[in-house]
Structure 1
């Protein structure tokens, strides 16, 4: 019996130790803080050497040269970060973070609803703040994400969350700001095999149903209703600009077709997600003021005749074309912690470094409609920022020493770090 008790106690201690590695959400900022001596990358293209960044009650009170900082009667705790770099917290758009945990375990997957048209599905209510993946993002400087549903033609509503919270309500930065449309792929004409004919008919039917749904929603907005229709009411924000339509498509003809379709339906604000052919239709996008969430930096070219490095060069080319864009990481959810290194690849192939930082901070905030709160290190915005020992876009020097969300200092422990230390210690014991 005593041996069993000892074994049970050992297991309890072991389990408790393992669970102790899961970070607890940080508490609200109670003491004003000033980070001094670092190089500040504001996020809007500006760089300040020997900067001070001060924040109090979760808001930035000063960001600029150290010589210009005055406490103004507030007692600031000074933290020297001399020789390091301060950046805005990075933002991951178009992500299933918190909705998808283990691909092989169905019970952990909650990113998709059945049916083709689900505009009223709120992805954020399924967001799991206890995901093991989330801390690995924070450790690389990614502090916010757009939680996005998938599937069907209209997948549902996305929300922007910060990645340190007890529950989805606490995590919210902007609720239900985007409706996600998966544009039906074009079908090759001239091929009249039964399969292709069926695909064309299905596509046409889907577009007709989509047109009818948007038309009904537009009328619904103007009429008083005795009972709310959730599907229609969730779409009404598209017609006054309070919500954006995120159009997921890659090919040039589909991009143009989808935007014209949405414009005809009366949609005010649109964003192209994917955008593999965005450069081909750059003039059209610029003329219509359509931003792009570009997904394919680490991908092969879509056409055999394309430059093999075109996906790497695309962010720089979009910048030159005057297109507002940001970057996402769609290769895998678990790899989304590599978002800063996607931007680093773009720097190596022509995108200016500070613009690359903007592509994962301020540009993303603008496209997601949260730039008044986050995205750059400026007075009045949330103190959501990170301190790196070196260049945050380089995997060799991206070493986050401090991270703050709304002024709250984060615990940067994650599962991978814990496992590294565990097994590193194991082999040291054998020496």
Structure 2
């Protein structure tokens, strides 16, 4: 019986090790990291730096020689290591999808085409096994985004160490996501003209419905208080007072121009384009209209046979040189699990024109500005949230990325995840003899 109990306890221990780690407790004492190279996130690098934080807020970030009052701080030596802001992942289904091939674990899309009132936040699963694997590569905040239809719904910003979606929320309902209807183009000479005509009619009907809904929402926000609430129009109202951003998902140049012109004409205050793989064709338009770009599919083939083979890799630098506000995301096949590669997408951009610090900014301070978080997140500066990671090597290099410490709002959380557990398990397979 004792032997049986021993094996049950051993099994329980291994099972527990593979579970999502318990969220960290609030910071209980001041912490001081000394000796590392500080990458502020705004392009500045401070060698031999000190980063001090208390109650979740940074009290000092700069050269070590400038911080002399160490009394009361827990001093941690990170000499020879790199200190970075936590990465911010926009436009992701992280926490909404667990296993893409198993329908019961996918909760990213609502029924219907026009769902501006849908809130992705309440479907966010903090117990996802994928979340710890994403944190291990430095991603500490994410914009949880719905999919499908024309108006998918509302995204929300979360931090990735929480008991539930209420605790995770950093900025609820930050924006509305619009999948701009694709233009009805003839896909082949043999395509039936009637099929093309039907696609065009369906598209025009969607555009009319969109315009009517946006027009009604603009008028709805000016109605007297106490009215019976219309959830769809109420959700859209924030687009006209600047409290929400309209995120337009579009890739082709003509569609981007059409969608941005639509939003501007109807009085939408803040507009960002997600995808934007044809952004290189319309740099002047994006600049003149001050449109932010959330660039997707950097790790992809060119769209057209005549495009440069490395166009997706160098597009971030083209946006940087044109002075366009942009950040990077991870969208593509296996996008939820692939989100852990956000740092390496930035690394690819750094190898094709961007400097390493510009590439870092594209996944830290730039997304923070576009998502309205830069007051608290995105860079390591006095007064901001102590959300950061410490790596033994270059965070953007998959060969040297090795995070040794991580903090969200000053809380040191466990870097453990299921994949690390499985790695140890199978590495020890032949050591059991």
TM-score category, normalised to shorter length: over 0.9
2:184 alignment partner, one of 183, 187, 190 = 187
Per the alignment, residue 199 of structure 1 pairs with 199
CA distance in 2, matches of 1:388, 1:155: 37
- Find the counterpart in structure 1 of residue 369 from structure 2: 366
Give the Å deviation of 1:103.
Answer: 1.6
Q: How does 1:131-280 map to 2 (within 5 A)?
A: 131-188=128-185, 193-224=193-224, 225-280=226-281
> Any idea what SS the aligned residue of 1:234 has?
helix
Deviations 1:283-304 (A, max 9, x none): 0000011010000210010111
> Would you say the 8 A contact 2:17–2:421 is kept in 1?
no
CA distance in 2, matches of 1:178, 1:248: 12
Distance apart, 1:195 and its partner CA: 1.6
Offset of 1:8 from its aligned partner? 7.7
Give 1:12 shift: 5.7
Say if 2:283 is the partner of 1:286: no
1:325 shift after superposition: 0.7
Cα gap change, 1:266/1:424 in structure 2, threshold over 3 Å: closer, same or farther?
A: same
Distance 2:5 2:212 in 1: 63
Helix, strand or coil: the match of 2:155?
strand
Q: Secondary structure at the match of 2:60?
A: strand
TM-score when normalising by structure 1: 0.96
Distance 1:174 1:372 in 2: 12
Q: Which residue of 2 aligns with 1:375?
A: 378
Q: Aligned-pair distance for 1:321?
A: 1.0
* Stretch deviating more after TM superposition (137-146 or 100-109): 100-109
- Tell me whether 1:106 sits opposite 2:107 in the alignment: no
Partner in structure 2 of residue 311 of structure 1: 312
Whether the aligned pair in 1 keeps the contact of 2:292 and 2:370 (CA below 8 Å) is yes
User: Quick one: distance in 2 between partners of 1:243 and 1:237?
Assistant: 5
Residue of structure 1 in register with 2:358 after alignment: 355
Deviation at 1:9, TM superposition (A): 6.6
- 1:106 Cα offset (Å): 2.0
Partner of 1:82: 79
Residue 309 (structure 1) shift = 0.6
1:21 Cα deviation (Å)? 3.6
Q: Deviations over 1:332-391 (max 9, x none)?
A: 211110110001011111111100000000001011111101000001110000000010
In structure 1, how many angstroms separate the alpha carbons of the residues matched to 2:25 and 2:96?
25
Contact 2:142 2:158 survives alignment (8 Å) = yes
* Partner-residue secondary structure (3-state), 2:239: helix
> In terms of mean alpha carbon deviation, does 142-151 or 10-19 score higher?
10-19
Contact 2:256 2:273 in 1 (8 A): yes
Unaligned segments of structure 1, at least 5 residues: none
Distance 1:6 1:200, change over 3 A: farther
Query: 1:427, 1:106 → 2: CA distance?
Result: 37
Paired with 1:265 and 1:15, the residues of 2 have a C-alpha distance of 58
Whole-angstrom CA distance in 2 between matches of 1:149 and 1:353: 31
Show the counterpart of 2:35.
37
In the TM superposition, what whole-angstrom CA distance separates every residue of 1:212-261 from its partner, at most 9, and x where no partner exists? 00000011000125211110000101001110000000010000000000
Alignment check: 8 A CA contact 2:273 2:293 kept: yes
Greater displacement, 194-203 / 363-372 = 194-203
Q: Displacement, 1:108?
A: 1.2
CA displacement at 1:265 relative to structure 2:
1.0
Residues 38-93 of structure 1: CA distance to partner in whole angstroms, max 9, x if unpaired?
A: 00000000010000000000000000000111338x61110000000000000111
**CA positional deviation for 1:197:** 1.4
Shift of 1:198: 1.3
> Considering only aligned residues, what root-mean-square deviation do their CA atoms show, in Å?
1.5
Partner of residue 400, structure 1: 403
Instruction: Could you tell me which runs of 5 or more consecutive residues in structure 2 were left unpaired when the two chains were aligned.
Output: none
**SS across alignment from 2:99:** coil
Q: Distance in 2 between matches of 1:13 and 1:183?
A: 54
Deviations 1:305-334, CA, capped at 9 Å, x for gaps: 000111011111111111111101112211
